[in-house]
Amino acid sequence: MWVVCALGVLAVSMIAGLLDGAADISPWQVVLQAADWLPFVHVDSGLAPVEQGLLFELRLPRVLLAAVVGGLLAVAGAGYQGVFRNPLADPYLLGAAAGAGLATTVAIVLLPDVAASIPVAAFAGAVGGVFLAYTLGNTAGRAGGTATLVLAGVAVTSFLTAIQTFVQQFKVEELQRIYSWILGDVGGGWDQLWLVLPYAAVSAALLLLHGRMLDVLSVGDEEATSLGVRAARVRFTVLLAASLATAAAVAVSGLIGFVGIVVPHVVRRLAGGSYRSVLPLSLIGGAAFLVLADLVARTVLAPAELPIGVVTMFVGAPFFVGVLRMTRRAAV
């Protein structure tokens, strides 16, 4: 039932994303044109070729990219929260955002005319940041546990952010471009969508397949081991898949915060705490959430456009405080 409801919300949000835009196009014509895109369906929408191109080349890939990025960030957040057994865990926890930000800044400073270098640099930087945090966390030995890994992520994030600030000073005129990327954007078009899809498919599949394992891990490593689950292997695989999902999302959209905290927490409140439900519902819910956030970003200051990361911050920051207060009361 919850999956059907989530898919319905996603469908409505995607239709709303297609209907809204700067061009004045009749909603009924948009619906007819969307039907015409379906296989074996031929409908005359009455739209001019320019309007059809606007829908197909601008609105449709933007809506689809927002859905993919939102789904990846939310399911990655649910995966991290399952591994760390902490509802405040975030997809950017292990230095992925800081690594992507540093690599993108370097790419913009050194290769300002090569637009294709930004996604590649962001992906490599995100993976590199996670690798550094994981390596640093493992130097403390197994006794450190997940808390040590979190602290390693904080240390790596601080260090890489400091380097990014230093690099920015070499080309101050590029600061606007850097901060535009940092605040997030899902208007990359079909090229960005095709770029992220293979990574999205692999990482999401891995996470969804480990839902039952995360349920077992939630009772503790010793109990999980007694049930035949290799806790260290499961934790490493989920961390790898969640980090890959985060890196792929960051590479094509920039840094969009709080999706990985807000959506999984709402899912748990509605559908329960089993990760066999939390992971797929977070994937669908995250897609719907970011499509709606992008819709708000496009309309609230129209014809100007608000960065999508600002919208998610407005929603996520108060939500994070609420989750923090509830977690504190539960601990007491």
In 3D, which of 79, 232, 276, 217 has the Cα closest to residue 142?
232
CA atoms within 13 A on the CB side of 203: 30
In 3D, which of 86, 248, 75 has the Cα closest to residue 153?
86
Tens-of-pLDDT digits for all 332 residues of the chain?
Answer: 888 998 999 999 998 888 877 667 777 887 788 777 777 778 877 777 887 888 888 888 999 999 999 999 999 999 988 888 877 778 887 888 888 888 888 888 887 776 667 888 888 888 888 888 888 887 765 555 667 777 888 889 899 989 988 888 887 777 887 888 888 888 888 888 998 999 999 999 999 999 988 888 877 767 777 777 787 888 889 988 998 899 889 888 888 988 998 999 999 988 888 999 999 999 999 999 999 999 999 888 877 788 898 999 998 888 877 777 776 665 55
Q: Considering the entire predicted model, what is its pTM?
A: 0.88
Region 2-331: CATH code = 1.10.3470.10
Is residue 284 within 8 Å of 3, Cβ to Cβ? yes
Give CA angle at 144 (75, 103), nearest 5°: 50
